Structure 1
Amino acid sequence: MYRIISKAIAIACYFICLLFVIHGNSQNNIANLKLEKNTIYIFSRGTKTKSGIIAEKFNIHDKKITHVGIGFLEHNVLKIYHVVDIDTMQTALVVSDLKSFINESVYYLSVWKCDNPVVDFKNLKKICKYYTSKKIYFDYSFSLNDNTTLYCSEFCERVLKETNSVTFNFKPRVLKLERFYQTVLERAELVYYPVDFFEDHPSFTKIFESEFTVTTD
């Protein structure tokens, strides 16, 4: 009996230690994430509350990410430009560091590096700064016809296309909506850019991926 109890305790301790190692490695990986100058990055995060609403129904194939932003180093400081669906007095476009991008409800993060020439990086940097000078409203209607209302993936797609319309010639996805979404959006189909719209593009490569333990969503 004593041997059985001891073995059970040993197994439990092993799995507890394993969980700490896995979680610790995730944090260390982020700390050791090396980003390059003159390089465009896509930062993708996932939250549990939006996974069923966005990822499961509207993503192309990535079922973890629910939000995207464009980032790059400026004077060795990471800046992530992304449009958020919260009530803001100034603009829905915010500029975050990595710590604020990964808030307490985020359980998943992936980072995608773009194989871009320097000229594209310089163009994108100017375009991002231009958008910060405008008042951007979150696009709750998910329409592609208004430059002043944007959602997160629409913003990223637009910035990339304005950077280089030949290289970043993304096509919107057309999705026949379920009855509930037809009622909410007042249309039978949705023409939009999913949050994983860029993943199949040959210029983008995933360089980092991690999941986190969260207590709240």
Structure 2
Amino acid sequence: MSRHRVRFAFEITEGPNAGLRSSGWRVWTNNEDTYITASTFGQVWKGSLHGDVAWRWAMDKNHVQSGRAPTLPKGHDRAPWTWEPTPFVNGVRLAFAIAVTRGAMLDRPADPKDQHRIVVEDRWDQLTLAKIWMTEPGVDLPIDPLLDQPMELSSGRRVWITAGWEELSDGEPEPLCAGAIVEPYTPGVQDVRAPGLFVRGLRLSTDTAA
């Protein structure tokens, strides 16, 4: 089965901070597998959802074999985060989510390869999400808005990407951050329905006091 790839970025599109954005993300499929990564990971890290068998966030095998930095400590598995595949409910399952905060929006150039923008409101009490769903053969996803046409797996299942927004109770205004930090989330460890990534702004302290 041919590969299908969807690229997108999160971006503030209105107001005085219009143009602040995330790095570009991409989701693609190959046979029965679904992959997730971001341009800032530099072909080092990616998420792999292998059918109903192995779901994980791992260092890319080719990168590990190259011996280039960054490297994992000796003896560590290249997949520090592994997950159980989420269940289907009425032929639909939420497989993965990328949740970004307002603070993760940075002053960076747009990438013309990104086909879609997920609009981030310029407010601190809201999470913006890209949700990756899977459906059984013949089942449509009754959720909007869709980013692109679904990607078909070799089994006839399909992979869909939607945008979403959720309230963030403890969001506080921050100065423009120096970067973004990504934290994998796991059902049962964090209060989430599906595995995913939480992306927040990274501030560098200028306090040099001991």
**With structure 2 as the length reference, what TM-score do the two structures score?**
0.25
Query: Whose strand proportion is higher, 1 or 2?
Result: 2
Name the larger-Rg structure: 1
Higher relative contact order, structure no. (Cα contacts within 8 Å, ≥ 6 residues apart) = 1
